[in-house]
Amino acid sequence: MKLKIKSFIALVLISTINLRAYANPEIKIYPESVKQGEQIFIELDTNESEQKLDNLLVEINDKYFPLINIGNHYKCFIAISPELKVGEYSVKILNQQKETIALKTINVTLTKTGSQNISYSSPILTKAQKEIIKQEDQLVEKAKFTFSEKQLWNKPFVLPVPHKVTALYGIKRYLNGKYNGYHTGVDFASPMGYAVKAINNGNIILAEYFSKYNSNGNLIYVDHGLGVGSVYLHLSKIVVKQGEYVKQGQIIGYIGSSGRSTGPHIHWGVYLNGQNTDGLGWTKLTNKLF
């Protein structure tokens, strides 16, 4: 009997310890039910009496994202991949020792996407041209992971142009009938020479006239801080420079048809911690949040 009481006490103690670990700090996720390809916003408030928690991470499905610390407040925006399977996922907050200090569940729901075939005759490239394209593409990859921890905006995000959408984010793309991955941005049918505006305040990370055969064409990459970035492709003219700070609505370039493009248009993309996400959903989410 004594042994039973002892184990009961031990059990209560363990439960209390677990409860303490999970009861504090408080985690908020918005929305808790999210569509594939859309985004969630995570906020964490720690008790003031607690010591500051450094290098907190969010873990979802074995992927890790940094929580940015602002006072006793932590923030993180996460892009849910359009390829993540529908279902329930644990969102864990991990401390430096990789221990779970907060836990919540999100529900990932289905996004129905169409498909699109593009007929395009790919040019035959020399080894030197391929090498140049590779280096240019590496600059873009690097840009996606270059961000200030400071939130550089204080207003919801807007669209870069006011035109008709011709290809949604996430649609399955076929190039001459062969699957070429999902569409990583939103295409707008904008007229040649139309002004493209920055979707929010930020720093210009890339503003490049790429080589003739680079599929992106001439592009601009903007860092908005807190892991948020935006990209503008196929431009005819760029009017900003790398390192420059731009304000929301500022003209950064003009519509073109450079790169792999069958006519004047813009491919606009939003990135969260390096992962592409639906820009239309992102503007809606930030309108609800701020």
**Binding positions for Zn ion, rule: CB under 5 A:** 185, 187, 267
Of the pair 69, 166, the CB lying nearest Zn ion is at 166
Quote the least distance from Cβ 226 to Zn ion, whole Å.
Answer: 25
Quote the least distance from Cβ 82 to Zn ion, whole Å.
Answer: 14
Task: Compute the radius of gyration of the chain from its Cα atoms.
Answer: 22
Q: Which residue is nearest to Zn ion (CB)?
A: 267
Give the full edge-to-edge strand order of the sheet including 178-182.
115-118, 172-175, 178-182
Of the pair 101, 266, the CB lying nearest Zn ion is at 266
Residues 6+ apart with CB under 8 A from 45: 25, 26, 28, 72, 73, 74
Of the pair 36, 184, the CB lying nearest Zn ion is at 184
Could you tell me which residues are beta bridge partners of residue 104?
Answer: 91
Quote the least distance from Cβ 208 to Zn ion, whole Å.
Answer: 18
Of the pair 74, 268, the CB lying nearest Zn ion is at 268
Structure token digits, residue 200 = 């929010």
Classify the C-alpha dihedral 276-279-280-284 as positive or negative. Answer: positive
CA 231 to chain centre: 11
Of the pair 57, 189, the CB lying nearest Zn ion is at 189
User: CA-to-CA distance for 142 and 168, rounded, in angstroms?
Assistant: 25
Of the pair 225, 279, the CB lying nearest Zn ion is at 279
SS3 36: coil
Quote the least distance from Cβ 270 to Zn ion, whole Å.
Answer: 12
Q: Strands 172-175 and 245-246, how do they pair?
A: unpaired
Of the pair 185, 253, the CB lying nearest Zn ion is at 185
Quote the least distance from Cβ 249 to Zn ion, whole Å.
Answer: 22
Q: Taking Cα atoms as reference points, which of 211, 257, 215, 252 lies closest to residue 234?
A: 257
Of the pair 82, 185, the CB lying nearest Zn ion is at 185
Quote the least distance from Cβ 196 to Zn ion, whole Å.
Answer: 14
Quote the least distance from Cβ 166 to Zn ion, whole Å.
Answer: 9
CB of 30 closer than 8 Å to CB of 91: no
Structure token digits, residue 9 = 């006490």
Q: Give Dmax over CA atoms of the chain in angstroms.
A: 85
Written as one letter, the residue type at 158 is V
Q: Taking Cα atoms as reference points, which of 176, 173, 182, 167 lies closest to residue 121?
A: 176
Quote the least distance from Cβ 177 to Zn ion, whole Å.
Answer: 18
